[in-house]
A and B are shown apart, each in its own frame.
Chain A
Amino acid sequence: MKKLNKRAQSEIAGFVLIVAIVLIGLMVFLVLSLKKTNEIQNVEAENMLSSILKYTTECSTQPPIMNNIEDLIIECNKNSICINTNEGSCEYLQKILNKMLPDLTRTDQMLSAYQLSISPKIGGNPNILIKSGNCTGTVYMTQKLVKAGVAEDIVLKLSFCYKTSS
């Protein structure tokens, strides 16, 4: 009787061991697949951001020179005013980016979502955040630093997602 009991115990121990090995294997597999970073640096995003920054606006903080978006970001940081339109540079920047991004992304049928954030380098919430759509898959992104003074660098981050092909 005692011998039978011992045998049953070792059976249970064996079964538990097998279950433990299987669970460890599954956990390793899960950890490896979830650990993968979901954000990829992308050349297309880089090109898009670079052409956005070079776009010449109708705002001029120092007439007759027309500011491009990059200048406007710096001017927004200084709270300057567009002298020719009598409008705050930040309001103008927000307005133009809100109009520009949907127009740009409309040309790429595969884009499902996008987000552009302009925020101070050292912490803080984004000054400007424009986004549309919901991203589920891999995020393609690019980042650029705009020099707006020694301690006031601004970080621009553009990210977008493509529709997943079924």
Chain B
Amino acid sequence: MVSNKAQFRIQQMAFMIVAVFFFFILVGVAYISYQYKTIQQSYQELQKEEAMRSLQILTNMPEIGCSQEYMCIDEDKIYALAVKKGYGNAYFWPIASIRVYKIYPAFENQNIIDCPAPNCNYYNVYDSGQKNVQEYATYVSLCKKVREGGYTFERCEIGKLSVGVKLNEKAE
């Protein structure tokens, strides 16, 4: 009788230990999946941050950037590049495409008008013609020298610099 009772008690304890063990396993799984999600999110954010840093490097290039200004593009320079396409080779630009959109002041009709044209709002600075491309964009100042009222100054608008980066194709 006593032996039966003892067996029952051991069984009861074993069940309890197994239940507690499974409970902690479940909590652990929930914690790991939460951490995994956070790490994945941070990875995507870091990737985007890296792309943004690359865009900053690009705007610092003397071919398109304003002198000593942070995230600033010289509109006169990109105008020349969009017209002449002189720098349009893959050896010079280490990327797939460079596009600049004027976004503020916004145009009444939201259409994209390719520069050079009157009231244009889009510069296609470089396009390698590659297809499998990931585009990254960021806000930039779009400045040009203007003369108004007999006074020359730099007028800045707001644009978006969009750069295409070629994606690695999976090996077949």
A and B are interacting partners = yes
The interface of chain A, by Cβ under 8 A from chain B, is: 18, 22, 25-26, 29, 33, 40, 43-44, 47-48, 50-52, 54-56, 63-66, 68, 100, 103-104, 106-107
- CB-defined contacts of A64 to chain B, threshold 8 Å: 148-151, 153
Asked if B16 is an interface residue, CB under 8 A from chain A, the answer is yes
Q: In the bound complex, what is the Cα–Cα distance between A21 and B148 (angstroms)?
A: 75
Contact across chains for B156 and A54 when beta carbons are under 8 A apart: yes
Contact across chains for B103 and A107 when beta carbons are under 8 A apart: yes
| With contact pairs A44-B138, A44-B139, A107-B103 given, residues A56 and B27 touching in the complex (Cβ less than 8 Å) | no
Contact across chains for A47 and B140 when beta carbons are under 8 A apart: yes
Contact across chains for A50 and B154 when beta carbons are under 8 A apart: no
Give chain B interface residues in 89-104, CB to chain A under 8 Å: 101, 103-104
- CB-defined contacts of A65 to chain B, threshold 8 Å: 151, 153
When each residue 13-47 of chain B gets 1 if its CB lies under 8 Å from chain A and 0 otherwise, what string results?
00010001001100100010010000000000100
| With contact pairs A22-B23, A54-B141 given, residues A44 and B154 touching in the complex (Cβ less than 8 Å) | no
Q: In the bound complex, what is the Cα–Cα distance between A29 and B48 (angstroms)?
A: 29
Asked if B155 is an interface residue, CB under 8 A from chain A, the answer is yes
The residue on A at minimum CB distance from B105 is A103
Contact across chains for A47 and B52 when beta carbons are under 8 A apart: yes
- CB-defined contacts of A66 to chain B, threshold 8 Å: 148, 153, 155
Q: In the bound complex, what is the Cα–Cα distance between A48 and B159 (angstroms)?
A: 10
Name the residue among B52, B138, B139 with the largest chain A CB count within 10 angstroms: B139
- CB-defined contacts of A52 to chain B, threshold 8 Å: 158
Q: In the bound complex, what is the Cα–Cα distance between A52 and B71 (angstroms)?
A: 11
Chain A to chain B: the 8 pairs with minimum beta-carbon distance, closest first = A43-B52, A64-B151, A54-B141, A48-B139, A103-B106, A51-B141, A56-B155, A51-B139
Within the complex, the shortest CB–CB distance from B15 to chain A, in Å, comes to 12
Give chain B interface residues in 132-172, CB to chain A under 8 Å: 138-141, 143, 148-151, 153-160
